[in-house]
Amino acid sequence: MTRRSASPPKKSVVREYFESLVVAVILALFVRTWVFQAFKIPSGSMEQNLLIGDHLIVNKMELAPTANALERVVLPHRDVRRGDIVVFKSPQQPDRDLIKRVIGLPGERIEMRRKRVYVDGQALNEPYVQFLEPPPPDDAPEHANDLRETYGPVTVPAGQYFMMGDNRDDSEDSRYWGFLPEDYIKGRAMFIYFSIADGSPGSGGFAGVRWGRLLRRVR
């Protein structure tokens, strides 16, 4: 007579819930650590595109370096492009995160004259830029000692980038601290998920929330 093998014991409901919770926590940590990161705009260096009090979602995987060909096929990866707005470790204070726009790519020659940026001798079209003081006319003398107006020319080294804030007269960027190493980049800013004006009137609640900026793409 053939013996029937004993069926494996059923998992208790408590154990199933516990395992599900563990998996959910691991996935949440993976997403937070490797895929997305929240970031709050701390200064006005990217105005008027990004305002103090904007809360962003940053895609950390898209610009992350890949180790092999398989990762390049499977993971949603692409190279850094001019115009990308990225969050990165400060070259001066690596424990502090900054956000700026990519202006110069490796091997490019960057120069600024009368507040206008030139890449390899060609003026860069920058509709996103704002100035506290308008650029001087072409026939005005250049102020060589004012980095807000005149810079370079410099050539961006391999594996590094030239970064600038959109609010050019109020941004401490590559003009002041040099080039950004590629491995300092943490991710590309994707969209604004929340925005509130700092020091807004009202006590608690929804006072100061900038409803029109919610879910706005960063570009």
Q: Assess if residue 9 is contained within a domain.
A: no
Give the model confidence (pLDDT) of 72-125 as tens digits. Answer: 565 667 899 999 999 999 999 999 999 999 999 999 999 999 999 999 999 999
- The C-alpha atoms of residue 50 and residue 33 are separated, in whole angstroms, by 24
Put simply, whether the predicted model's pTM sits higher than 0.85 gets the answer no
Among residues 96, 113, 109, the alpha carbon closest in space to that of 154 is found at 109
At 134, list the tokens. 């308008």
Residue 53 lies in a domain: yes
Q: Determine contact, residues 197/210, Cβ cutoff 8 Å.
A: yes
Count of domains forming the chain? 1
Whether 43 is a known active-site residue: answer: no
Domain extent, residue 74, equals 37-217
Q: Three-state SS for 104?
A: strand
CATH number at residue 100: 2.10.109.10
Average pLDDT over residues 46-53: 95
Residue 4 belongs to a domain: no
Marked catalytic residue, from 45, 171, 174, 195: 45
200 is a domain residue? yes
Please report whether residue 146 resides in a domain.
yes
Task: Provide the percentage of residues in the chain whose pLDDT is more than 70.
Answer: 75
Kind of pairing, strands 85-89 and 36-40?
Answer: unpaired
| Contact of 86 with 63, CB cutoff 8 Å | yes
The yes-or-no answer on residue 200 being catalytic is: no
Residue 185 lies in a domain: yes
- For residue 29, being part of any structural domain is answered with no
Choose the catalytic residue: 60, 100, 115, 186: 100
Segment 144-158, tens digit of pLDDT: 789 999 999 999 999
pLDDT surpasses 90 at 40: yes
Pairing of strands 109-113, 216-217: unpaired
For residue 181, is it within any domain? yes
* Residue (of 52, 61, 86) closest to 163 by Cα position: 86
